[in-house]
Structure 1
Amino acid sequence: MQFGQVKEKILECFHGLEGNQSIYVSTTDGEIALHADQPVSSASIIKIAILVEALRQVDDEKLTIDQAVQIDNVNYVGGAGVINHLSRDHQWKLADLLKLMIISSDNTATNQLIDLIGEHNINHTMKAAGAFHSKLMRRMMDRNALKSGLDNMVSGKDTYLLLREFVTQHLLSQSSMEWGVEVLLQQQFKDKFPSKISSIKENLLAHKTGELIGVEHDAGILFTSNGPVVYAFLTAGLLENRYGREAIANAGRLLYDFYE
């Protein structure tokens, strides 16, 4: 199969979906794009931007990766994650919160990190990466903000630009790039991109998922012998979430099979 053929098949995975899709894939053979600059509700994909900014502050010596971080009571929320179910007298390290934010999508860790590194700084770094269609506007599980029309937004192309920071040195040091990739490789949610791949090789897929009612996302880096393939499969406005998961799983299988 030629790249043009697999590109067509991947795009076909999303053509039948209702709602909005923002798709972008960058490979050494070319790009795959569908409404790539269209912002959609980010769900947990915005946590990639928080990771980039936290590591940038570590590089600038504003933070240290092993510094102690106390979680404020206001930041304990439900949804994804485990911290909200644990003892509140636990002493966390910055590294712990970053890992939990990515691999188990912990919302409590995310809210504390937003406080620690600053909403303005996160948005500034997204712009520095070229992600001009994306913005952090609310904390995790802030339903009042949602009711007032405030939501976190990302596009497929912007998500690619943020992930590219982990494979092309620009905003982060080499050590921070490698640390971020190592965390993304430990992703525990595997119900989308890798779900139809029978035996995915170890240390090949570094990714982050996101979901809300009507929203299913998966974005990451597939490390291939031809170089990194950076993808963002974002689907929103779904009548049923299972259709988004199915589309992403089919596209992920096509992309993986073509390069592996």
Structure 2
Amino acid sequence: MSPLRYVNLDRPKPKKSRKRFYSLITVVSLLLIYFIFIRQDNDQKALSQAPSPTSSSQVLLERKIEPPEVLPTLSTANSLEDAVGQALKGTKGTYAISIQKLNSNETFNKDEDRVFEAGSLYKLWVMGEAFSQIEEGILKMDTKLSQDIKTLNEKFRIDEDLAEQKEGGITLTVSQALIQMITISHNYAALLLTEKLRLSQVANYLKEKGFNETSVGTSGAAPKTTASDLALFLEKLYTLELANETNTKKMIDLLKAQKLNNKIPKNLPDGVEVAHKTGELGWFSHDAGIVYTSKGDYIIVVLSESSNPKGAEERIALISQAVYEYFTK
């Protein structure tokens, strides 16, 4: 039983005891506040480090999903700006867009320097650093990587409640990890490869290559990027500025083998080649790629934040269609 039951309430309490009591209350209160904020911070880190269908679903539960928007009907566009404007008509979402006709001066940009959470687009930078290390002889395609899922979750601060996987292990060669990370956006293949490369090296890669508006999340914050930086990445990839010709072709072939084709390629004619990477996390839905056509290749990057991410996928597909029809008319 608590000794407070036997205190004589008529007798004044010693000042020293009272001071100790208030000090104890203050310490306990501060500890509670500290742990509340630490918990919130860890949840944010978990969402940022391993974007996945599971974690995205958790984020969506925190806000109301709005009904899908009615998409406009496209007509023949007089300019690239007109084409994009038609496709964006009626949207309530936030979109950042960067389009560049390669080997040409024709471009279109909208909020291209606006910062978005990157979602799985961070895997582009992991791929870039992997091929840099391969060229330097630090890494080999047939190097075998292996790790426990639990260890990866702990290293990348993934909350157990949000993790796609909680137990078991993963073993892949560097080549297999690259294929799965890019073509099906496999999160644990990406984490396995990132563990080998070191996240700090991926951050250095961004700095060395001049992607100044992009961060990989080394401090626990979400990986972030802009449409401008992604367009620059794709332009440098296309012009052999990220790797030699052999490794550039390997990276582009990986992007062309993408299996998640519900955005940029969705409304394009069969047979049109697109080298691209998608990104999704909560309310964010993105796609960035190079479209190859007989009338010239072009870069298209669309980043979005909306109250209906599935609807944003349809909107991105429509923007892509409008741009393709304009460039190939």
Of the candidates 290, 296, 308, which is equivalent to residue 240 of structure 1? 308
Relative distance call for 1:44 and 1:15 in structure 2 (3 A) is farther
Q: What SS class does the counterpart of residue 196 from structure 1 fall into?
A: coil
Is residue 2:77 matched to residue 1:7? no
Contact 2:80 2:108 in 1 (8 A): no
- What amino acid maps onto 2:100 in structure 1? S
Aligned mates of 1:45, 1:165 — CA distance in 2:
16
- What amino acid maps onto 1:5 in structure 2? S
Which one has a bigger Cα radius of gyration?
2
Of the candidates 86, 91, 99, which is equivalent to residue 25 of structure 1? 99
What are the Cα deviations for residues 17-57 of structure 1, in whole angstroms up to 9, with x where unaligned?
44532211111251110011111010111111111111111
Relative distance call for 1:120 and 1:4 in structure 2 (3 A) is farther
Of the candidates 97, 117, 125, which is equivalent to residue 197 of structure 2? 117
- What amino acid maps onto 2:190 in structure 1? T
Quote the offset at 1:121 in angstroms.
1.6
Aligned mates of 1:92, 1:107 — CA distance in 2:
13
Quote the offset at 1:16 in angstroms.
4.2
Q: What is the match of residue 75 of structure 1?
A: 152
Aligned mates of 1:15, 1:123 — CA distance in 2:
37
Quote the offset at 1:222 in angstroms.
0.7
- What amino acid maps onto 2:257 in structure 1? Q
Quote the offset at 1:98 in angstroms.
0.8
Quote the offset at 1:193 in angstroms.
1.4
- What amino acid maps onto 2:117 in structure 1? S
- What amino acid maps onto 1:31 in structure 2? T
- What amino acid maps onto 1:251 in structure 2? I
Aligned mates of 1:233, 1:244 — CA distance in 2:
10
Mapping 1:118-197, distance limit 5 Å: 118-137=198-217, 145=220, 150-197=221-268
- Relative to the length of structure 1, the TM-score reads 0.84
Q: What SS class does the counterpart of residue 291 from structure 2 fall into?
A: strand
Aligned mates of 2:78, 2:129 — CA distance in 1:
35
What are the Cα deviations for residues 129-163 of structure 1, in whole angstroms up to 9, with x where unaligned?
22111101169xxxxx5xxxx21101001011112
Quote the offset at 1:229 in angstroms.
0.8
Is residue 2:323 matched to residue 1:255? yes
Q: What is the match of residue 212 of structure 1?
A: 281
Is residue 2:165 matched to residue 1:94? no
Aligned mates of 1:93, 1:128 — CA distance in 2:
26
Aligned mates of 1:200, 1:20 — CA distance in 2:
29
Mapping 1:36-47, distance limit 5 Å: 36-47=112-123
Relative distance call for 1:65 and 1:221 in structure 2 (3 A) is same
- What amino acid maps onto 1:258 in structure 2? Y
Relative distance call for 1:84 and 1:249 in structure 2 (3 A) is same
Contact 1:3 1:29 in 2 (8 A): no
Aligned mates of 2:242, 2:267 — CA distance in 1:
34
Q: What is the match of residue 142 of structure 1?
A: none
Contact 2:148 2:168 in 1 (8 A): no
Of the candidates 271, 275, 291, which is equivalent to residue 201 of structure 1? 271
Unaligned runs of 5+ in 1: 140-144
Q: What is the match of residue 130 of structure 2?
A: 54
Aligned mates of 2:106, 2:167 — CA distance in 1:
46
- What amino acid maps onto 2:247 in structure 1? S
Relative distance call for 1:256 and 1:121 in structure 2 (3 A) is same
Aligned residues: 243
Unaligned runs of 5+ in 2: 1-74
Q: What is the match of residue 224 of structure 1?
A: 293
What are the Cα deviations for residues 84-109 of structure 1, in whole angstroms up to 9, with x where unaligned?
59973x64110100111111111101
The percentage of aligned residue pairs carrying the same residue is: 21
- What amino acid maps onto 1:201 in structure 2? G
Aligned mates of 1:158, 1:232 — CA distance in 2:
10
Q: What is the match of residue 66 of structure 1?
A: 142
- Relative to the length of structure 2, the TM-score reads 0.67
Relative distance call for 1:71 and 1:7 in structure 2 (3 A) is farther
